[in-house]
Structure 1
């Protein structure tokens, strides 16, 4: 048989449709479109919320063995460890009793001063108790998932606390669960106040700076800061209530060639082992509305300025 008459085309059984390059270009363009749509228009937010709701029972079942092992290890803890914890608890209770007496005295003095100056009483923020389920799947971030969501009234931006201090902030809310970004995440920043000096600054999360987890940036090399200074929330951002412990300065590096000092801080909260947390509504939500100014007064003020 002559070679020219042989059919060299593939049988229909081996036809694969579009080429691999065409598929790569199509799915690459589709991925870019979805990323832009999610970043600018939040088109995939309902899909993400629906998937989180559907997968919640599976995630709950997956973490039950971990909780069982953890509860069993807590139950079978040694007697020596229990005695040491009891002694430490008694010591802390004695210290807290002394501090409670001082705080009660200060509260009475503060109340008298507020009545004397006719000042508004401090608002009591609304709180919701929650439990940490597991860490977020993204290894490049420092986030955890808690077991409260929209059904319990949580909103994005709510501060999250544990028994030691500020743990983080709610960044995503789903119907049954929420995502909390920890204070050591590189995208997190908190306005803080140095208790010793009263100076305000901003603490940034940075999990790779020597293991401390936070850093005070843009502080002058001659700034009055010392190792051991306590940093609390300043309350100027309208998110965190003032006076909450955030971090303690652990290391200071002053360099002659730089105008700014490298100040490292250690968070007060248990960022790596927190289990039970409190979610607080942002301060701006609980503040009363700003009083409306008199339109006539505004017009008179503008007229005087124009002169």
Structure 2
């Protein structure tokens, strides 16, 4: 008899077809996060679940289902701070993620935000669309020329390194970073043991740390106060790594020149004060939004499910 799994969001057919071949599958048709009741029912009624961002499998959820039928949460995505892994493991539930599939796509999104913020691209497009553009002139919308500047990477993991490599090799940028430990890199980069000291030296500060309690509000008023008034912040990590109110204040007061955001502290809610600002680029969490990337993520999550449920093995990307 086939094991029964729940896929928490609609996924590309290239993922669903092999899923149907390997399991009895229910695909939830909605795009919003699972409710508390849906998560509890998923733990009771399925052998495995493929959740994703926003599906908050908390300690309370696991406490309400002390003997779950579900034995694996194969997260669709690299970030898994929405899952209480200690509570999951305590309930006998394996947790896995999809680390390698998202690296390049997320780094590409970071580069998009760096260039859009530095060159005021969002502001410029709004000007053209408004019909108010009066034509080119030599001092129109002058921004930051990123080539040769210094980029600071907060979190030098897979994604941080991919961003740094693009900045260094593609734009001849000097690389500095703040990370839990020095890294053995294939390009020149200067480690800092102080986040504010790093912030004070760079022209672009890119946030690429995992989410979770350890990084909540890591980027706050002290970091913005240390940054140059010509510097830009880019966040492709998790929204609550940046203290949103402090960022809004820094942008409103021109303490920093601009920001590029793909994630938000209370996503999908984006404060009106942030939306009203011209010096911030706002994307709707597009980090991995390319068909082939989402297919790769889905297949990786499926491999984790197959290994655990059908092969009795440790998933290749267990966390």
TM-score, length-normalised on structure 1? 0.22
Name which structure has the greater RCO, CA cutoff 8 Å, separation 6+: 2
Greater strand percent: which structure?
Answer: 1
Larger-gyration structure (1/2): 1
